[in-house]
Amino acid sequence: MVQFVVRALLALALLASNWCFAAERLAAEHSAAELQPKGSLVIIGGALRADNAAVWERIVQLAGGKGARIAVFASASANPERAGKFLVDRFNHYGAKAFFVPVAVRLSGTDYAAAAEDPALASAVRAAGGAYFAGGDQGRITRALRRPDGSNTRILDALWELYRRGGVIAGSSAGAAIMSSTMFGYPKPVLATLKLGLDDATEIAPGLGFIGEDVFVDQHLLVRGRFARMLPAMLKKGYKIGLGIDENTAMVVGPTREVEVVGYRGALLVDLSQAQFKDGLFNVSNARLSYLDNGDRFNLVTRAFTPSKDKVDGRVDPGHPYYREPLFSADILGNSTVVDLMAKLIDSDQPEAIGLSLDSPNGVQPDLGFEFKLSRTADSVGYLSALSEAYSVYNVRLDIRPIVVQRPLYQYK
């Protein structure tokens, strides 16, 4: 009888323990769901033109449509008052009711630290449908919105509440850099970064992390050949996925973590999940590059690509290639060169494309350069637009290795 009672008590204790565990798990899942932002991000690569209606109107729409209140932050600007006025006028032109938030290091006649803690100002930001960050120096944004100890000011907490509730956070250039948890501070030029690496103290800094801890963001990407500097930064901080957006173009990231490209050009997706690196000089193998053109989508959760409507029926047939000559570039870091090579490769009879990056004779380590090899794999696929000669290219392999740059055969006299 005693044994029966003991067993019954043990069974009840086990049942209670399991129930408590299940309840705790449900509570944790509910809490995580509550914290998961219901809003969207609009990440712009810089140089957003005033007439790029597709991007401006998308921000207004995500903020609530006509009459939406949008908080404008010119914190990164060297002239916040001027930049703020222009942006307020732009948003109002596209149907919003924007207002300037006077929290900026360079804003004369104000105490930015006090403004960042102002309860009334924080309340106005919290109640808005969206917020927009201007370009400039991204370090000025984090300086203005974080306290010296690194904690959030009231304004930054209000921005997070806006985003979690369902509002939109948008930003261009510096306003794009802050979207990831790590951003560039004051880095060297791209090629020097490959040669010398990154200094954690000055060249990389904490961002605001709106996109999450698992995605690295960079801007001005194709115009300035910055895809190459993303690789050492991602490696240093342990990122597997990076998104780089070009100028006058935006990535819209929704609450389901689906990324849509909107605007003039496109975005590069850098995938290091299968990549291998060697110690010493920068050397990477089996990285993956994908180019998402205007209208393309990529889901950060499922990793699925969806081409734009004008490309859905335009899948490139490897059996009927358009390009039939070796593919090579002497300046892979030139304006949009990497995307041009990717597009030709996916519609070519060639298995690979080679690009070089060489330095000036007066540059850092002038005898050191890099070879970039793009290769088609079984997963590589391309789509050609029915309306233009624009390509979307997914899952091209990238290998980078250091090379010795030979000196000229003859010297000038």
Question: Mean pLDDT, to the nearest integer, of 58-75?
Answer: 98
pLDDT of residue 7: 60
Distances (CA, A) of 43 to 8, 24, 160, 269, 386: 59, 36, 16, 14, 27
Asked if residue 173 lies in contact with residue 135, where contact means CB atoms within 8 angstroms, the answer is yes
pLDDT single digits (tens) 147-168: 999 999 999 999 999 999 999 9
Q: Which of 8-17, 145-154, 332-341 has the lowest mean pLDDT?
A: 8-17
pLDDT of residue 412: 73
pLDDT single digits (tens) 314-330: 999 999 999 999 999 99
Statement: residue 34 has pLDDT above 90 = no
Statement: residue 18 has pLDDT above 80 = no
pLDDT of residue 87: 98
Statement: residue 32 has pLDDT above 80 = no
Statement: residue 40 has pLDDT above 90 = yes
For the beta sheet containing 258-263, the strands, ordered from the edge strand earlier in sequence to the opposite edge, are 97-100, 69-73, 130-133, 168-172, 40-44, 249-253, 258-263, 297-299, 305-306
Q: Which CATH superfamily is domain 38-306 in?
A: Class I glutamine amidotransferase (GATase) domain (3.40.50.880)
Report the 10 Å Cβ neighbour count for 181.
19
pLDDT tier at 4 (50, 70, 90 boundaries)?
Answer: low
Question: Mean pLDDT, to the nearest integer, of 333-350?
Answer: 97
pLDDT of residue 286: 98
CA 206 to CA 175: how far, in whole Å? 13
pLDDT tier at 252 (50, 70, 90 boundaries)?
Answer: very high
Question: Mean pLDDT, to the nearest integer, of 70-79?
Answer: 98
pLDDT of residue 410: 80
In the chain, what are the domain boundaries?
A: 38-306, 327-404
pLDDT of residue 411: 74
Report the 10 Å Cβ neighbour count for 284.
19
- pLDDT mean across residues, the chain: 92
Tokens representing 156?
A: 């930054």
Statement: residue 96 has pLDDT above 50 = yes
By DSSP bridging, strand 249-253 and strand 40-44 are: antiparallel
pLDDT tier at 409 (50, 70, 90 boundaries)?
Answer: confident
Q: Which position has the token pair 């984090």?
A: 142
Residue 88 half-sphere exposure toward CB, CA atoms < 13 A: 16
Statement: residue 35 has pLDDT above 80 = no
How much is the pTM? 0.91
CA 167 to CA 158: how far, in whole Å? 11
Q: Kindly write down the DSSP assignment for every residue of 272-338, as one continuous string.
A: -TT-EE-SSS--EEEEEEEEE-TT-EEETTT--EE--TTTTT-B--TTS-SB-S-EEES-TTSTTHH
pLDDT of residue 281: 86
Asked if residue 168 lies in contact with residue 129, where contact means CB atoms within 8 angstroms, the answer is yes
